[in-house]
Amino acid sequence: MKAKNQRLWLIGLAAVAMLAAVLLGMWALKDQASYFYTPADAVRDRVEPGRQVRLGGMVEKGSIVKQADGVSIRFVVTDGQATVPVRFTGIVPDLFREGSGVVAEGHFEAGGGFVAETILAKHDERYMPPQVAGAMHKSDSLEADRK
């Protein structure tokens, strides 16, 4: 076999190996990937109930309600275009409060509510998830909050 043919075979084998590695990686992440949705995206895309996702937005002012058990709360996440009611049981981060940015990891229920398993609060007062900031700038709801 000529040297030129050997190089072509090696390049072909390397390409097949790389494709196999990418496909194996995608297959392994199939059930582990958690997609990010804003409330408007979630309403528009009708996220499948039970699917693990991240929901990001702002905690609507006046929406946090502590339940009688002392560890469960209900609140509403908004992006200025849509709202999603969220239920969470556990200890919330210190920075979690009304009017602040939040990312909740969990799943949607059949009725459209969201059950959060983890709450991630913003780390400074100017931080906002990029997808939420973009959506809120489009709807001008961010400007309304600043006035």
Q: Is 127 annotated as a binding residue?
A: yes
Q: Is 35 annotated as a binding residue?
A: no
Of 66, 39, 51, nearest to 106 (Cα)?
A: 51
Q: Measure Cα distances from 135 to 40, 91, 100, 147 in Å.
A: 9, 28, 15, 18
* d(C-alpha 79, C-alpha 115), whole Å: 18
Residue 58 near residue 77 (C-beta atoms within 8 A):
yes
Residue with tokens 């913003």: 122
Q: Which residues are annotated as a binding site for heme?
A: 123, 127
Q: Which residues are annotated as a binding site?
A: 123, 127
